[in-house]
Structure 1
């Protein structure tokens, strides 16, 4: 029976979401996995927008419970860090003790992206922390994203693959995703 892999990421928001989600699912199947992808299941009708949001959340949590592993796209989305929904999904899967793999299509570290956010105006304070002009400290651990994401993945024996996609292909370049598939297959003793 193939490993069930939940495909997490902000692709659901793209104008060509269905195309990208289908392509990722196709590549997961080719690697010997059963993909579970947001957007694949019908969402029960709801009377309000809030109710619709809850229904989507419940469907996605059900898919994650059914999955054996996750491959999450942590490419920064609408800011300097990963999509918050995807970060939740990584944490959800970590909490369930499932296999966690992830990738980002931006090679710059979380610290470098935060520094750019502050226009490079970072200073080291007497307590050894790096802080922006607003006094808020910035993580400086040579990690791809927030230490809880990198740490949670590493603690479970997974991998966070760092790619370097072109600016116009941040959410469509699948090279780092395919490397996650290869690493997961290798960890499972199969070939991708």
Structure 2
């Protein structure tokens, strides 16, 4: 049975444990074993730095054990995906694992900036800090968009269904 590491900012939600259980149940339904970061056992009665190191090491080990990574790449605390999730995708890709991403919709990254948040300067869109806005018709940064095996516009379950095609 192939193992799927479930990456994403869902671990920060109030009902994160229940979300992880649900995702693991979906994995089982489709013939996979789900590996959810919050399934790790970490001692929280130690220094914050030690806790962080333990979480990091445990998540790396789960990615190492996995065959596939499915990542929630929806925007988190802004216009970009969670930076920890992006690191996990890059690490898995470097190990030669298949990485699948999912997002709610396929709006281009440029279009996530409202008209009053961007302006066209010499043929290039820039944000309010005069920084160029990536415009390649992807919903996410090109380095992620070009490295995932498949970007699914829908839910975690939709992504699982894509694996079976």
Query: What TM-score do the two structures reach when normalised by structure 2?
Result: 0.93
SS of residue in 2 equivalent to 1:137: coil
Pick closer, same or farther for the CA change 1:161–1:124 going to 2, 3 Å: farther
Compare 76-85 and 133-142 and name the one that shifted more.
Answer: 133-142
Match in the other structure for 2:164 = 185
Question: Superposition pairs for residues 26-37 of structure 1, below 5 Å?
Answer: 26-37=25-36
Deviation at 1:124, TM superposition (A): 3.6
Structure 1 residue aligned with 2:109: 110
Deviating beyond 4 angstroms after TM superposition, the runs of 4 or more aligned structure 1 residues are none
Paired residues in the alignment total 165
Q: How does 1:9-24 map to 2 (within 5 A)?
A: 9-24=8-23
SS of 2:37 mapped into structure 1: coil
Q: What is the rounded CA distance, in whole Å, between the counterparts of 1:162 and 1:86 in structure 2?
A: 17
The structure where strand makes up a greater share of residues is: 2
Residue equivalent to 1:129: 124
The equivalent of 2:136 in structure 1 is: 141
Q: Give TM-score scaled by structure 1 length.
A: 0.81
Confirm or deny: 8 A CA contact 1:5 1:69 kept in the other structure: yes
Matches of 2:105 and 2:55, distance apart in 1: 28
C-alpha separation between the residues in 2 aligned to 1:64 and 1:85?
13
1:43 Cα shift?
Answer: 1.3
Confirm or deny that 1:152 pairs with 2:143: no
Which consecutive residues of structure 1, in runs of 5 or more, have no partner in the other structure? Answer: 164-175, 187-192
1:25 pairs with 2:24? yes
Q: Is the 8 A contact 1:90 1:100 kept in 2?
A: yes
Instruction: Provide structure 2 residue ranges, at least 5 long, that are not aligned to the other structure.
Output: none
Question: What is the aligned partner in structure 1 of residue 83 from structure 2?
Answer: 84
Superposed displacement of residue 44, structure 1: 4.0
